[in-house]
Amino acid sequence: MASNRTLICCAYSFGYGPAAKLLHLARRLAGEDFRLVFLGSGIAHELASRSRVFHDVIPAAPADRRTRDMLASGAGVLSLMDREFSAIALECGKPVFLVDSLLWMRDQLPAVFRDATRFFAQNFPGVELRLDEIGPNARLVGPIVGQRGPGQARNGSRFVVNLGGCEAPRSAVGDDPSYFDFVARGLFESDLLGEGTVVLGGSQCIRYLRSRYPGRGVEMISASHDDALNLMGQARCVLTSPGLTATLECFQLGVPTFFLPPQNFSQWWILATLRSRGLAPRSFHSDDVNPDLGIVEHMHEGGRLQRVREAIRQVAQGDRGKRIFRDSVMGLAAENLDELTRRQMTFFDSLGPDGTAQVVRELLELM
């Protein structure tokens, strides 16, 4: 190992998922005498700043003048699906360890992923069809989650609704709150949310929901990653957005997990995959209202963000979608929680051994 022990960490700022995976990896690396420095912005910076695992959490954008100097000063970069910081680090001749959980749904592999010193692809159904694209520097790894075992699910009385980061580049709550209103109305009208319910979300989302739906007897909080995991692990059951990180975390914890409608393109196909395997009963998908919305697998990145936003807005503003979602939520109480938990944990185990340990082990060997 070189004398430089600074590892620069970054995560794609699109929901909490990439930053949450980074935190799982950083916790394992914290005992390896690294100086861990996070660079980033937006929702990723929000989650990183709530953790004590990094020595420094620095707000930064790729275009900032100091960014190149900071990347060049480190021994290497650990990147969770980020492209821009990673590309600059490669230009500076730094080793880049890039982790991706969405290879299975990509239209093509970004060049910076292929050029990384090591590219780690997290396993998920469909990824086996893409392995010939990733080259000799790639590794297929299991779920990138923490070291927690199954929690005390169902011993608690709390019901946890996890909206995830909810905020993405160029699509903040203030720009288009229709999804959040759709979900909140459906939950409140179902009478599912009551005393003891906790709603988790990004800070901007929670501020909006508190102002829009006050006095409901529901705790709405934007929490650290550790606190969110503790709440979900001790819940009777969780209703979560179908982001892949939160999904796998809940499955590993052994808490019965139900799913909110998808918020973006990756969640669109994650939920479709989970439904096809019987892992997401009573879930609502925009396809249930209109199967001809034009959202197809492996859509080109250039147009899919706006297309998905328009499709979700169309469904969220229609009476039929509101009715179907409310009815699906009201049916959750009829599910066999023990059987659901068994299926979800079996699926988690099928994805392979501890991916967090695999990534950390190879990073230490290559550094």
For the chain, give the longest Cα–Cα distance: 62
Spell out the alpha helix ranges (H) of the chain.
Answer: 17-29, 42-49, 65-73, 84-91, 111-115, 178-189, 203-212, 225-233, 244-253, 265-276, 301-316, 319-330, 337-350, 355-366
Q: Given a cut of 50, is residue 171 above it in pLDDT?
A: no
Q: Given a cut of 80, is residue 151 above it in pLDDT?
A: no
118-127, 166-175, 183-192: the lowest-pLDDT one: 166-175
Q: Given a cut of 90, is residue 154 above it in pLDDT?
A: no
Q: Which residue has the tokens 């209703």?
A: 239
- Do the Cβ atoms of 40 and 110 come closer than 8 Å? no
CA distance 153 to 40: 34
Task: Please tell me what DSSP assigns to residue 100.
Answer: E
Q: What's the whole-model pTM score?
A: 0.92
78-125 pLDDT per residue, tens: 999 999 999 999 999 999 999 999 999 998 899 999 999 999 999 999
What mean pLDDT is predicted for residues 32-37? 91
Q: What is the pLDDT of residue 333?
A: 84
Residue 1 pLDDT grade (very low, low, confident, very high; cuts 50, 70, 90): very low
CA distance 179 to 176: 8
Sign for the pseudo-dihedral over CA of 122, 199, 306, 270: positive
Query: Domains along the chain?
Result: 6-143+352-366 (3.40.50.2000), 159-350 (3.40.50.2000)
Contacts of residue 279, defined as CB under 8 A and 6 or more positions apart, other chains included, come to 343, 344, 347
- Do the Cβ atoms of 315 and 307 come closer than 8 Å? no
Select the highest-mean-pLDDT range: 190-194, 293-297, 328-332: 328-332
